[in-house]
Amino acid sequence: MNRIPAFGLGTFRLKDRVVMDSVRNGLELGYGAIDTAQIYGNEAEVGEAIAASGVPRRDIFLTTKIWTDNYARSKLVPSLKESLTKLRVDEVDLALIHWPAPDNGVSLDEFMSALADAKAQGLTKQIGISNFNIELTKQAIAAVGRENIATNQIELSPYLQNRKLVQFLREEGIHVTSYMTLAYGKVLTDPFIGEIAKRHHATPAQVALAWALQRGYSVIPSSTKRENLASNLLSQQLRLTDEDMAQIAGLERDGREVSPAGLAPAWD
């Protein structure tokens, strides 16, 4: 199985020329992974930026996510083929179910087996889930097998550490991808994070990202500014002390930023 890169570029909320510039800058700076989704409405622009970058396709780990409208068996594979056309690639490296959407009328068995079909057809190298709680992850494992779930991409930050779910995923050998690691920027003004940043001559963003990386998660921060994209990358070289990590562990406050009604599960 291809390992999921520890560091990638997120494209949530980035559109048009903005997302093209972000992807171009990211690839120029050395980002090796790009994360998008059908609902972001930017797959075509991401694909255009990748094509124009000159970076070989084999050097880019590309993730997209299937939107809830496309979960039915008759729709999932065609929707992913449409995503591939927009992205200008023959396959993605990772395709995720974006939200469990328990009330949308398509059973988990149906959409997970349809996603497995997409993998069997060579449309994606790996498959996984996003925003699944423990119970739904168990159901996904039952549907397609633990070895076929490459990751669960979940909201994680110093303010939302999701310990119970993370522990379960570790026990199952399912990789954790952290999104919203900076809690919409809220952790950037946290005094404790600020103190740790000062001690290491780092930025608060670097500290939060380094915390997630040292916890073993992959991260996919986004930015529209080249200097921030470059700065975020440096978090990979930052080593936090045990004391730093313990201090950040104390910031847990169940600070969830994203939980759309009808799409989100009952959180653990």
* Given the residues 40, 71, 159, 179, the one annotated as active site: 40
Residue list, annotated binding site: 98
Query: Binding site residues for substrate, as ranges?
Result: 98
Residue 4, domain member (yes or no): no
- Starting from the edge strand earliest in sequence, which strands make up the sheet with 151-155, in order? 9-10, 33-35, 61-66, 92-97, 124-130, 151-155, 175-179, 218-219
Please count the structural domains in the chain.
1
Q: Which domain holds residue 41?
A: 9-249
CA-based end-to-end distance of the chain: 29
Q: How many CA atoms lie within 13 A of 113 on its CB side?
A: 10
The answer to the question of residue 262 being in a domain is no
In a domain, 3, yes or no: no
CATH code, domain carrying 84: 3.20.20.100
pLDDT tens column, 193-249 = 999 999 999 999 999 999 999 999 999 999 999 999 999 999 999 999 999 999 999
Q: Is 186 contained in some domain? A: yes
Q: Is residue 238 part of a domain?
A: yes
Whether residue 263 lies inside any domain: the answer is no
Q: Is 146 part of a structural domain of the chain?
A: yes
The question of whether 40 is a catalytic residue gets the answer yes
**Residue 103: band (very low, low, confident or very high) from pLDDT cuts 50, 70, 90:** confident
Give the Cα separation of 128 and 175 in Å (integer). 10
Give the confidence band of 1 by pLDDT, cuts at 50, 70, 90: very low
**Confidence (pTM):** 0.97
- What tens digit of pLDDT does each residue of 162-202 get? 999 999 999 999 999 999 999 999 999 999 999 999 999 99
Domain membership flag for residue 17: yes
